[in-house]
Structure 1
Amino acid sequence: RELNRRERPCTWEIIQLLWEAYQRGVIESAHRIWEFYRHYEDATFVITADHGEAFWEHRFMTHIADRMVPELLHV
């Protein structure tokens, strides 16, 4: 929030740290899905996701619902 309200400057170091944390979360999610799948191989799975995170592409970070940009509107 502080970054989006411009209360704190956004540096490339902050962006890198947040991106790495996001990537670790994606990898962890993939591992958990695989572990679940291994127990139900004959099942059909439907996996959905939300619109994602912003990493300063449009000068804002993380989830911001009031910004309508193509990356958040088109899945």
Structure 2
Amino acid sequence: MSHLTTVLAAAEAHVELPMPTWVYGVIAAVIFAALLIVTLSYRDVANRHSHRSAPDAAAHAGAPGAAHHGSGHPTQGH
């Protein structure tokens, strides 16, 4: 049993990190901020390109099971 305790004690040796622990949090925050910017850059893409998809949407408006929700959203003048 003493050999097992010696091996377990050696396995718990202190490992020095390559940088302070708070730097890992900063790196994670920067990565998440970059991902947020990428995600928000795709915001409202469908409305910016609605002139390209309007004919296709009109063709599918009469399809069986199509939901009609009034006149839709107002355009942004594009």
Q: Same fold (TM over 0.5)?
A: no
Q: Which has the larger strand fraction?
A: 1
Q: TM-score, normalised by structure 2?
A: 0.36
What TM-score do the two structures reach when normalised by structure 1? 0.37
Q: Which has the higher helix share?
A: 2
Answer with 1 or 2: which has the greater Rg: 2
Q: Which has the higher contact order (CA 8 A, sep 6+)?
A: 1
